[in-house]
């Protein structure tokens, strides 16, 4: 089976950014990034969207994504608000395009 162009582009993107491979391989991290794509979310929204995941585990995942410069946060009315950086948005864009190619 040959790769579709989006899958090939994603493979090249990961080759050029090998530090992102572990993020891609972590389903929870990718789910968080996809959830944050499009618009930022308050911590309470993140927790509500992942009810089967411990809130502390979510916070640790968000912290790790922030350390990887994929997510940033700020405080609005004393509640953390998380959003993707341009690097995080780029990873999600490649990921979603490649995933769509698998579903064709």
pLDDT digits (tens, 9 = 90+) for 36-65: 998 999 999 999 999 999 889 999 999 999
* CATH code of the domain covering residue 83: 1.10.10.10
Counting the structural domains of the chain, the total is: 1
Three-state DSSP at 25 gives helix
Whole domain around residue 43: which residue ranges?
5-103
Check residue 103 and give its pLDDT.
57
Q: How confident is the model at residue 12 (pLDDT cuts 50, 70, 90)?
A: very high
Check residue 17 and give its pLDDT.
94
Q: Long-range contact list for 36-40, CB < 8 A, 24+ apart?
A: 36/71, 36/82, 36/83, 36/84, 36/88, 37/84, 37/88, 37/89, 37/92, 37/96, 39/83, 40/81, 40/82, 40/83, 40/84
């Amino acid at each position: 089976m040959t790769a579709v162009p989006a899958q090939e582009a994603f493979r090249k993107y990961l080759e050029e950014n090998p530090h992102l491979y572990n993020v891609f391989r972590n389903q929870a991290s990718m789910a968080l990034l996809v959830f944050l794509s499009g618009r930022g979310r308050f911590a309470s929204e993140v927790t509500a969207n992942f009810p089967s995941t411990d809130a502390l585990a979510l916070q640790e995942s968000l912290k790790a994504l922030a350390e990887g410069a994929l997510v940033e946060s700020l405080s609005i009315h004393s509640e953390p608000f998380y959003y993707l950086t341009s690097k995080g948005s780029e990873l999600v864009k490649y990921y979603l395009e490649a995933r769509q190619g698998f579903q064709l």
